[in-house]
Structure 1
């Protein structure tokens, strides 16, 4: 398989040496260079995630400040559906693009063909669901369908740039998305058009602009056309488990919002969303580092699993500490920044719950990424499905029995933490032990 040139992680360490002083100095300099490159790569990946999240954050702020609390609750469900759709295509096509040999003609054709099928199906489903549910008019449903198609297309271009570790180019693409989305939304407000359909329209235009610009930023080798034959099977065998896995977390959150709306009110879902918007920077940090971690693990699959697990353990510790610091700052600033950011003062316990959820994801996600890169996506999906089910059961208890919306993010945190630790203990550790006894052991690829 063609590989992207390896980028050393920040956790790489130079071995001690008994060589002469010049050799020691050279070793130190080399180690410092690797550390600097690793930190630069992580910073670039975090920056790319930051700019993407900034675009989403800007949309959330516009919605929070221009929509009523019930409309904000509906917006959180619809926008969550867009993220869910992107999770499906990003897992099925985007992760396959990262892990499989995308330069092989049949694989490349398979990736393009599956994306066309999924994008069409998702756009049609968005229109039908939005219209028949009665929450959107025909025109609103059309805009929602267009937003879904544009959102997943832009996300796939981001994944392609991730595959070549071009995170700095992703930053430029996301900045364009942010600028176009804000300008279009402000343009609507200036001429007196406000409401959910216009927020979705701004999202659509911004994502289309980002998709076109991102395509231009791709290396020429990544923009080659596709030809027959089409590798439907190989892409599906890997992608279906990654799509299902990627859909779990946004699907779980969308399910939680629907449970809250059904048990309580749209206003309760709006209050839950306001707290999540405020706590978003902590999740932004976690997502940014994890996006780099997945790309980094994907290009170093020849490494022993024991080495990769040790690296992932260190990444989890650093990431958890960073999320904790971000959470403490968020709670300290809440009395001042809460209403400024969301347009209303979020409930402190709910905000704390979302910050705890970000820390739980910081622990859980890296282990799932490592297992998926080592072709254990089926096992990861099984565990994550169980922890998502646990989360939704706890959310249902909180919403229908206790009638307490502040407990919803805590339920999500419990499920995420249980899933991540289970993946490490029941999937990765046994594989390391098996690798120690049989280094040539083949993986049970799905």
Structure 2
């Protein structure tokens, strides 16, 4: 178990590290204002990935994917979500004038294959093959860097080039992931008939939960851009990017715990609240210590990495937010696999809306953007306490039901 947990943390760490390096390259190559635009677009990409992670990724872990009808529903839902999210997101940004046609095309390809690759990551995670996730993520990153290097030599870097590189890397990672998944999970059924009802019945709530945090980040970016400007978004995002590796332990263990609790729910009926408490305490301690160290060295590391001085208030605020996230994740995973995904969503929705309301209030009061993550941290922590209260209600009778009636068959 410890080996799998460590592999999950490393896999999340590599993904977070890749995102970190890409954002560093953007801010160094294009400047803070253009980085602010990249941050909005990358946030939408992460949001789309979150939708598929919950809708398909969590469903393939919790449901019986060995059944042909379930697998058909998973495959079809993945394709619909990938094409739909790419088309809608790029179309809205293009119509509003936020991006031009080359950027729209590159962004659509990046979104589509980013979410498909995420499904293969989840499929490998469901088989506890977290070390293979390291391989496909690293390989995709190498391809992306190669594309950026060729573009730099030939034409120079731009926002369209960065998203084209991301898309190329994700295409390669997807193909490699298809090869590395276990043989039992490699077969593909037809798309119809399939248990689309079972997939949407469970996955919709999980998808909604997965969209809340990236959706809130996107909302905060847009609010700051409207109230203050894109340069302020860039400064706030630089501090968030700097502290984002703190969340790799939280994210990695969250993925591991979801798989572990799902297996327990299928065999025993419920996961362990004691185990969730223990992990939550460890995450609180780890993120608090690492956050303090990150703030302490920010005056030296910030200029080295970003080429600008990081705002220490924003850095400290994002570190505190990371601590608050540590409270939420174990209890959310425990409750969701125990058949309580609907109340999990409403609790998380509540703390997300509260975070956005607090953000609007702080901006209306002319509070500087670097202080905004403190308000988000308070809202997140309140959600964490709500999820723990929900976890205490998890009983053996709440065991995740097998999918049964499906109107698509």
Q: Which residue of 2 aligns with 1:233?
A: 197
TM-score under structure 1 normalisation? 0.87
Give me the CA root mean square deviation: 1.6
Pairs within 5 Å for 1:75-90: 75-90=38-53
Deviation at 1:304, TM superposition (A): 5.7
Q: Within 2, Cα distance between the matches of 1:75 and 1:139?
A: 14
Secondary structure, counterpart of 2:189 in structure 1: coil
Structure 1 residue 445, shift from structure 2 partner: 9.6
- Residue of 41, 53, 76 corresponding to 1:113: 76
Deviation at 1:187, TM superposition (A): 2.1
Does structure 2 conserve the Cα–Cα contact (< 8 Å) formed by 1:69 and 1:270?
Answer: yes
Counterpart for residue 97 of structure 2: 134
Q: Contact 1:123 / 1:146 at 8 angstroms: preserved in 2? A: yes
For the residues of structure 2 that align with 1:370 and 1:79, how far apart are their CA atoms?
Answer: 29
The partner residue of 2:335 within 371, 375, 395 is: 371
* Alpha-carbon separation, structure 2, partners of 1:89 and 1:443: 20
How far off is 1:98 after superposition? 0.6
Q: Is the 8 A contact 1:48 1:170 kept in 2?
A: yes
Note if contact 2:49-2:118 (Cα within 8 Å) is conserved in structure 1: yes
Equivalent pair of 2:11/2:134 in contact (CA under 8 Å): yes
**Structure 2 counterpart SS, 1:134:** coil
Partner of 1:410: 374
- Does 2:383 align with 1:419? yes
Contact 2:110 2:164 in 1 (8 A): yes
For residues 138-195 of structure 1, the C-alpha deviation after alignment (integer angstroms, 9 at most, x for no partner) is: 1211111111101101111101101101001001111112211222212222223211
Q: How does 1:23-422 map to 2 (within 5 A)?
A: 38-227=1-190, 228-301=192-265, 302-303=267-268, 305=270, 308-422=272-386
Distance 2:282 2:130 in 1: 21
Equivalent-residue separation in structure 2 for 1:258 and 1:63 (angstroms): 19
Tell whether the 8 Å contact from 1:163 to 1:295 is kept in structure 2 after alignment. Answer: yes
Asked if the contact 1:54–1:178 (Cα under 8 Å) also holds between the matched residues in 2, the reply is no
| Structure label with greater radius of gyration | 1
Q: Which one is further off, 99-108 or 285-294? A: 285-294
CA distance in 1, matches of 2:393, 2:65: 30
**Deviation digits for residues 100-124 of structure 1 (CA, Å, limit 9, x no counterpart):** 0011100000001111111121111
Matches of 2:194 and 2:2, distance apart in 1: 39
What's the secondary structure of 1:193's corresponding residue? coil
Shift of 1:444: 8.8
**Matched-pair contact (CA < 8 Å) for 1:58–1:182:** no
Decide which moves more: 73-82 or 324-333: 324-333
CA distance in 1, matches of 2:152, 2:4: 39
Task: Deviation per CA, 1:381-435: give whole Å up to 9, x if none.
Answer: 111111001000111122232241012211221111111111111x22233xxx4
Aligned residue pairs: how many? Answer: 401
Q: How far apart, CA to CA, are the structure 1 residues paired with 2:219 and 2:154? A: 36
Distance in 2 separating the partners of 1:69 and 1:150: 27
Structure 2: distance between partners of 1:293 and 1:369: 7
Q: Work out whether residues 55 and 181 of structure 1, in 8 Å CA contact, stay in contact via their aligned partners in 2.
A: no
Q: How far is the alpha carbon of 1:308 from its aligned partner?
A: 0.8
Shift in Å, 1:197? 0.9
CA displacement at 1:278 relative to structure 2? 0.8
Give unpaired runs (5+ residues) of structure 1: 1-37
**CA displacement at 1:229 relative to structure 2:** 2.4
Normalising by structure 2, we get a TM-score of 0.95
Is the contact made by 1:356 and 1:413 (CA closer than 8 Å) also made in structure 2?
yes
Q: Does structure 1 retain, via aligned residues, the 8 Å contact 2:236–2:369?
A: yes
In 1, Cα distance between equivalents of 2:371 and 2:339: 35
What secondary structure is seen at the aligned counterpart in 1 of 2:272? helix
Q: Deviations over 1:226-264 (max 9, x none)?
A: 134211111111011011111011001111111111111
Distance of 2:161 and 2:19 partners within structure 1: 15
Q: Deviations over 1:247-299 (max 9, x none)?
A: 01100111111111111100000001100111111012221221211111111
Label 1:93 to 1:318 Cα distance change in 2 as closer, same or farther (>3 A).
Answer: same
Aligned to 1:26: none
